[in-house]
Amino acid sequence: MIADTSRSPFAKAASVPYRDVEWTGGLYKERFDTVAAVTVPHLQRMFEDRDVSHVVENFRIAAGEAEGDFAGTVFGDGDFYKWFEAAVYTAVRTGNAALLDQLEAYVALFARAQQPDGYLSTKQIIGEKQGKGPMRQGDINDFEVYNMGHMFTSACLYYRLTGRDSFLRVAEGAAGYLRNMYEEAARTGEVKTAVCPSHYMGLVELYRTTGRPEYLALARLAVQLRDSVKDGLDDNQDRLPLKQHRKIVGHAVRANYLYAGLADLYMEEGDEDYRAVLESVWNHLVTQKLYITGGCGALYNGASPYGNFFHHQLVHQAYGYEYQLPNVTAYNETCASLGGVFWAWRMFLMAPRADVMDVLERMLLNVNMAGVSLDGKKFFYENMLRRAKKLSYELLWGQSRTEYITSYCCPPNLARTLSQTSEYAYAVDGDGVWTGLYGANTARFHLKNGAEFTLTQATDYPFDGRVTFTVSESNGVPFELRLRVPHWAGGARLSGSDAPLEPGYHTVKVEAPEGFACVLELPFAPRLTVGHDLIEESRNQACVEVGPLVYCLESAGLPRGVRLPEVLLPVNAKFTPVPEEIDGRNVHAFEVGLLWQPVDEAAREALYRPLGAPTLKPVKARMIPYYAWDNRGWGEMSVWLPLAWRS
CA distance 516 to 643: 47
Residue-wise pLDDT for 73-124, tens only, equals 999 999 999 999 999 999 999 999 999 999 999 999 999 999 999 999 999 9
Enumerate the domain spans of the chain: 14-417, 428-521, 528-644
- 647 pLDDT more than 70: no
Spatial CB neighbours of 335, under 8 Å, sequence gap ≥ 6: 253, 409, 410, 413
Residue-wise pLDDT for 284-341, tens only, equals 999 999 999 999 999 988 866 555 556 667 788 999 899 999 999 999 999 999 999 9
Q: How confident is the model at residue 64 (pLDDT cuts 50, 70, 90)?
A: very high
**Count of positions (residues) in the chain:** 647
- The pLDDT of residue 75 is 95
**Cα-based distances in Å from 454 to 4, 364, 482:** 21, 26, 15
- 1 pLDDT more than 60: no
- The pLDDT of residue 497 is 86
User: For the CA atoms of 51, 54, 59, 60, what is the dihedral angle to 10 degrees?
Assistant: 0
The DSSP secondary-structure symbol of 123 reads: H
Q: Which fold has domain 14-417?
A: Glycosyltransferase (1.50.10)
Task: Please work out, in degrees rounded to the nearest 5, the angle formed at the alpha carbon of residue 552 by the alpha carbons of 347 and 30.
Answer: 65
- The pLDDT of residue 549 is 98
Q: Provide the percentage of residues in the chain whose pLDDT is more than 70.
A: 98
Mean pLDDT, range 620-630, rounded to an integer: 98
Mean pLDDT, range 264-286, rounded to an integer: 98
Mean pLDDT, range 412-421, rounded to an integer: 98
- 32 pLDDT more than 70: yes
**Cα-based distances in Å from 153 to 114, 189, 204, 270:** 17, 28, 9, 22
- The pLDDT of residue 307 is 55
Summary count for the chain: helices (H), strands (E):
16, 24
Closest CA to 57 of 41, 69, 74, 42: 69
What are the backbone dihedrals phi and psi of residue 636, each rounded to the nearest 5 degrees, phi first?
A: -80, 155
Mean model confidence pLDDT for the chain: 95
- The pLDDT of residue 308 is 59
Three-class DSSP category at 489:
coil
CA quadruple 176, 179, 185, 186: dihedral positive or negative?
A: negative
Lowest mean pLDDT among 49-53, 236-240, 345-349: 236-240
- 63 pLDDT more than 90: yes
- 166 pLDDT more than 70: yes
- The pLDDT of residue 613 is 81
CA distance 141 to 173: 23
The DSSP secondary-structure symbol of 318 reads: E
CA distance 146 to 325: 28
**Cα-based distances in Å from 327 to 134, 386, 387, 455, 536:** 40, 5, 8, 41, 10
Closest CA to 554 of 544, 603, 30: 544
517 membership: H or E segment, kind and range: strand 517-521
| CA-derived radius of gyration, the chain | 25
Three-class DSSP category at 595:
strand
- The pLDDT of residue 194 is 87
Task: Measure the N-to-C terminal CA separation of the chain; round to a whole number of Å.
Answer: 49
CA distance 426 to 483: 10
Three-class DSSP category at 524:
coil
- The pLDDT of residue 589 is 98
- 610 pLDDT more than 70: yes
**Beta strand 479-485 with 541-546: parallel, antiparallel or unpaired?**
unpaired
CA distance 6 to 15: 7
CA quadruple 55, 61, 64, 67: dihedral positive or negative?
A: positive
CA distance 236 to 195: 6
- The pLDDT of residue 234 is 85
Residue-wise pLDDT for 424-472, tens only, equals 999 999 999 999 999 999 999 999 999 999 999 999 999 999 999 999 9
CA distance 479 to 106: 43
Mean pLDDT, range 565-592, rounded to an integer: 96
- The pLDDT of residue 482 is 98
- The distance of Cα 44 from the centroid of its chain, to the nearest Å, equals 21
Q: For the residues of 62-108, what is the DSSP string, one character each?
A: HTTSS-S---S-TTHHHHHHHHHHHHHHHHHHHT-HHHHHHHHHHHH
- The pLDDT of residue 115 is 97
- The pLDDT of residue 645 is 85
Spatial CB neighbours of 80, under 8 Å, sequence gap ≥ 6: 47, 55, 56, 59, 412
- The distance of Cα 359 from the centroid of its chain, to the nearest Å, equals 11
- Maximum CA extent, the chain: 77
Mean pLDDT, range 560-576, rounded to an integer: 96
Closest CA to 538 of 548, 546, 528: 528
493, β-bridge pairs: 521
Question: Are 87 and 99 contacting, i.e. CB atoms less than 8 angstroms apart?
Answer: yes
Q: Which fold has domain 428-521?
A: Immunoglobulin-like (2.60.40)
